[in-house]
Amino acid sequence: MSKFLEDYEIGERLDLGSHTFSKDEIIRFAENYDPQPFHLSEEEAAKTHFKRLCASGWHTASVYMKLLVATHKRLHMEALADGRVPARYGPSPGFEDLKWLRPVFSGDTISYHTIVADKRNSSTRPAWGLIYADNHGTNQNGEPVFYFRSKVFLERRPQIAEHA
């Protein structure tokens, strides 16, 4: 999000990169935050409806965040290198409609991307707006595994904000 609110177009796509979920990482996350059998061992997972070791849904979501932050940092640095002022982004007040569409199994590589869905100016903070995005995770077979609609505060262009 090195760009300001006005610079984003509805439908614009941003690829966030991909992540391979290793067995060790799936188990480590689950031990800390979601210790259910199908997240903890192949043997236990085989006895469940999932059949195979798969990642906690909160792990799938957290990896989205990891890749989003890395993408922001890269775009921020690119903006600075180009002599542009990078826009700041603020907190997320939350989101709507998260879906875990398929399990993320051990060894799966999930590619994440985000598509700008909507944007609006903040009614209370004239220097800021809210940007809405549809976020998608897709496995190595092209199957959707993860979706949610996010909203995040994003800075407006300074000259526009001053006259708002």
Which residues form the interface with a second copy (CB under 8 A)? Answer: 29, 32-36, 49-50, 56-58, 61-63, 65-66, 69, 90-101, 103, 147-148
- Closest separation between CB of residue 27 and a second copy, Å? 14
If the CB atoms of residues 9 and 67 are measured against a second copy, the closer one turns out to be 67
19, 109 contact by CB (below 8 A): yes
If the CB atoms of residues 83 and 124 are measured against a second copy, the closer one turns out to be 124
Q: Vertex 114, ends 142 and 97: CA angle to 5°? A: 90
Q: Burial letters for 41-73: b for 16+ Cβ neighbours within 10 Å, e otherwise?
A: eeeebeeeebeebbbbbebbbebbeebbeebbe
The 8-class DSSP code of residue 105 comes to B
- Closest separation between CB of residue 98 and a second copy, Å? 5
If the CB atoms of residues 4 and 100 are measured against a second copy, the closer one turns out to be 100
- Closest separation between CB of residue 29 and a second copy, Å? 8
